[in-house]
Structure 1
Amino acid sequence: MVHHIISWSLRNRFIVLSLALALLIWGGFAVKKNPIDAIPDLSENQVIVFTEWMGRGPQLIEEQVTYPLVTNLQGLPKTKYVRGTSMFGMSFIYIIFDDDVDVYWARSRVLERLSTVTGTLPEGVTPQLGPDGTGVGHVLWYTLDAPGMDLGEQPALQDWYIKFALQNVEGVSEIASFGGFQKQYQITVDLNKLLYYGLTVPQVIGAVRANNNESGGRKFEMSDIGYIIRTTGYLQSIEEISSIPVLNQNSIPVRVSDVATVQMTGEARLGIFDQDGEGERVGGIVVMRYGENAAEVIEKVKAKMLETSKGFPKGVKFDIVYDRGKLIQESIDSIKHTLVEEMIVVSLVVLIFLFHWRSALSIIIQIPITIAASFILLNAFGISSNIMSLTGIALAIGVIVDNGIIMSENAYKHLSQRYEEWQEEQKKTII
């Protein structure tokens, strides 16, 4: 069989060269289309359901949130198993699907089931789907270098300006913020004063809620001019909250400031983010969407960051602390250097031992064609260009080169023998 293929190839050199050129061109398009990443994605095909119920212990979370969700999410089609984890104030459910299941089909099935489960959970508890990213989706971390802003203003800039801008980048699943303080108004109630005025904590809470809203009226026309009647009641300062009346006693209002202390402070934190021992920083994590090209996503995010930074206050700038793009570029450079080195070594070996440049050229041509065919197969099986796959290609090139050298040397040897036999026959003929 092999002899027939070789003989057919020799008789149809133009067809063989045309097929090789077509394979090389096809492989070139496959290289551009193949997603590039540094780390292979070996995570399971999963959908995460996150539920927050702050202030509750793990046991209560387990009984009233995690257990109902796990039992109701079991039985979904093409599901391997369902895992549940409970911690203080939070619950995580991991639904593991079969590897061949489309992740967005799986998310839609989970969302359908959650619509029937919400009624069995405590009031105010709403489960949410996690981002459509994988365990290796954190492609870029950044912090804000803002020497003139405090740790309460920086999260506001991150959450209300930067986050919305970067989330619009194609291929980004989520921008996870970290660091700083979340500003909030805190009302510290004095129980002795409540007892003195005969009030309860729910009454104080109800009074604040009732005054923190806006109600609309109707349109009022006067002198051919229309006026929209509405009341604006959103609380915007400590003084407004302090002056809210809770109860009237003998036509004298009992205000929030009479029974409590109102102050602007930060939400309680369980940790801080420190960078290089120089103090706290505020920043975000760019989570890549499932199946996207990491290199392209990183470049688009950087371009958007450059555009977004134009609207920063004076002195504020981005500081990238983790960039997977550098690792990706190093991986690509490594495979390029390996190819060049192997081509040079092969050429020298063939030229030194055979003194035949056409044999060296035939071996060198095999390398790019083989790599092109490898990327065609990578796209066919949905494998990205990463450290593992590129290393495998580099190792395989060595085997291909060795085979090429052996086959060239063997062919050269047999041709030499045939040439010597032909010369001897010519001599005998002449004699």
Structure 2
Amino acid sequence: MVQKLIELSLRNRYIVLAIALSLFVWGVFAVKQNPIDAIPDLSENQVIVFTEWMGRSPQIMEDQVTFPLVSNLQGISKVKNIRGTSMFGMSFVYIIFDDDVDIYWARTRVLERLNYAQRLLPQNVTPTLGPDGTGVGHVFWYTLDAKGMDLGEQRATQDWYVKLALQTVPGVSEVSSFGGFEKQYQLIVDPAKLQFYHLSLTNIIDKVKANNNDVGGRKFEMSDAGYIIRGLGYIKNKTDIENIAVANNNGIPVRVKDIGSVQMGGDLRLGIFDENGNGEVVGGIVVMRYGENADKVISAVKAKMKEIEKGLPEGVHFKTAYDRSELIEAAIENIKGKLGEEMLAVSLIVIVFLFHWRSAVSIIIQIPITIAISFILLNAFGLSSNIMSLTGIALAIGVIVDNGIIMAENSYRNLADWQAKHAPKKD
């Protein structure tokens, strides 16, 4: 069989060359299309459902949130396993699908089932889907270099400007903020004054919520002109909160400032983010979407950060804390260097031992064609280019070279035997 294949190839050498050239061109195209990452993604094909119900104990979260969700999500098609975790004020449900299931099909099925499971949960408790990323999707970390700006202002800049802009980058699933203080209005109530005015905390909460709202009216026509009537009631500063009326005491309105004080403060924190022992910083983590090209996503994020930096306050800049593209580029450069070294070594060995440059060229041509074909197979099986696969290709180059040298030497040996056998005999 092998002999017939070799004979067929020798008789149709131009067809073989055309096929090899076509495979090489296809392989070059496959290299550009193949996702490039540094770390192989070995995580399970999963969808995460996150539910927050602050102030509740882990047992309450388990009984009233986690258990109803797990029970109703088990009927989804192609689910391999479901895991639930409950903690103080939070519940996590991990739905593990079969490996051949499309992640976005899985997210759609989970979302459909959540619409049904919603009615089994306590009032005002809403489960949400986690980002469509994986455990190795954290491709880029950055911090804000903002000397002289307090941590609350830095966090506000991150949450309301930087984060929203970076989330528009193609391939970015989520930008998670860390560090600093989340600014909030804090109402400090005096219990003695609540008792004096016969009020409760529920009354105060309801009144503040009701007064932080815009209301609409109808159209009013006057002098052949139409006017839209609406009430503007959104809170803009702490003075607006202080002047909200919460009760009536003998015809005199009782305002928020009469029962307590209002201040601007930070939300409760469970930790801090320190950079190299130099103090607290504020920044974000860029999470890549499932199956995206990490190198392209990071390049797009860096380009977007240059645009965002123009709109930041004076003296505020980005600092890179973690950049996976450095590892990716190092891996690519390594295989390029190994490829060049192998070609040079093969050329010298073949020319020195065989004294035939055409044999060296035929062996060298095999290397890029074989590597190009390997990327076609990577795309066919849905695998990315990472340290593991690129290292395997680099190691396989030696096998390719050995195969070429052995075939060349074997050809010379057979030719020499044939010449010796058919040489004219001397009398």
TM-score by length of 1: 0.95
Q: Distance in 2 between matches of 1:197 and 1:397?
A: 84
Q: What is residue 352 of structure 1 aligned with on the other side?
A: 352
Root-mean-square deviation (CA, aligned residues, Å) is 1.5
Matched with 2:239 is 239
- Please tell me the residue identity of whatever aligns with 2:415: L
CA distance in 2: counterparts of 1:338 and 1:413, whole angstroms: 30
What are the equivalent positions in structure 2 for 1:45-124 lying under 5 Å apart? Answer: 45-124=45-124
Distance 1:13 1:71 in 2: 64
- 1:7-38: per-residue Cα shift (whole Å, max 9, x none)? 22222222222221111111111111111111
Q: What is the identity, as a one-letter code, of the residue corresponding to 2:13?
A: R
Partner of 2:363: 363
Counterparts of 2:29 and 2:208 in 1: how far apart (Å)?
63
User: Could you list the per-position Cα deviations for residues 126-185 of structure 1 after superposition, in whole angstroms to 9, with x for gaps in the alignment?
Assistant: 000111111111111111111232111122222222222111111111111111111111
Which residue of structure 2 lines up, in the alignment, with residue 190 of structure 1? 190
- How far did 1:339 drift? 0.7
Aligned to 2:289: 289
1:93 partner amino acid: V
| Secondary structure class of the residue paired with 1:186 | strand
Q: Name 2:424's counterpart in structure 1.
A: 426
Q: Cα distance, 1:337 vs. partner? A: 0.6
Consecutive aligned runs of 4 or more in structure 1 exceeding 4 Å deviation: none
2:416 alignment counterpart: 416
Structure 2 residue identity aligned to 1:304: K
Deviates more, 1:8-17 or 1:374-383: 8-17
Question: Sequence identity, in percent?
Answer: 68
* CA displacement at 1:421 relative to structure 2: 4.2
Return the alpha-carbon distance in structure 2 between the equivalents of residues 365 and 331 of structure 1. Answer: 23
Per the alignment, in what secondary structure is the counterpart of residue 311 of structure 1? coil
CA distance in 1, matches of 2:249, 2:168: 54
Q: Number of aligned residue pairs: give it.
A: 427
Paired position in structure 2 for 1:336 = 336
* DSSP-derived class of the 1:94 partner: strand
Q: Distance in 2 between matches of 1:304 and 1:238?
A: 35
Matching residue of 1:323: 323
Distance across 2 between alignment mates of 1:158 and 1:353: 65
**Secondary structure at the counterpart of residue 176 of structure 1:** strand
Structure 1 partner of 2:31: 31
Residue deviations 1:252-275 (CA, integer Å, cap 9, x gap)? 332222222211100010011111
Q: 2-side partners of 1:378 and 1:206: how far apart?
A: 59
Q: What SS class does the counterpart of residue 383 from structure 1 fall into? A: coil
Displacement after TM superposition at 1:420 (Å):
3.9
Deviation at 1:226, TM superposition (A): 3.1
Tell me the distance in 1 between the aligned counterparts of 2:56 and 2:208. Answer: 24
Q: Does 1:227 align with 2:262?
A: no
Residue 427 of structure 1: how far off its partner (Å):
4.8
Counterpart for residue 375 of structure 1: 375
Give, as a single letter, the amino acid of the residue that structure 2 aligns with 1:185.
Y
CA distance in 2, matches of 1:87, 1:403: 58
Q: Quick one: distance in 1 between partners of 2:323 and 2:79?
A: 34
Stretch moving more, 345-354 or 103-112:
345-354
Q: CA deviation at 1:251?
A: 2.0
Match of 1:218 in 2: 218
Give the corresponding residue for 1:263.
263
CA distance in structure 2 between the aligned counterparts of 1:201 and 1:14, rounded to whole angstroms: 88
Report the residue type matching 2:322 in the other structure.
Y
Q: Secondary structure at the match of 2:77?
A: coil
SS of the residue 2:310 aligns to = helix
Q: Deviations over 1:181-206 (max 9, x none)?
A: 11111112222222222221112222
Please tell me the residue identity of whatever aligns with 1:426. Answer: P
Give the superposition deviation at 1:227: 2.9
Stretches of structure 1 lacking an aligned partner (at least 5 in a row): none
Q: Which amino acid aligns with 2:275?
A: Q
**Runs of at least 5 residues in structure 2 that lack an aligned partner in the other structure:** none
Is 297-306 or 91-100 further displaced after alignment? 297-306
Deviation of the 1:207 alpha carbon:
2.0
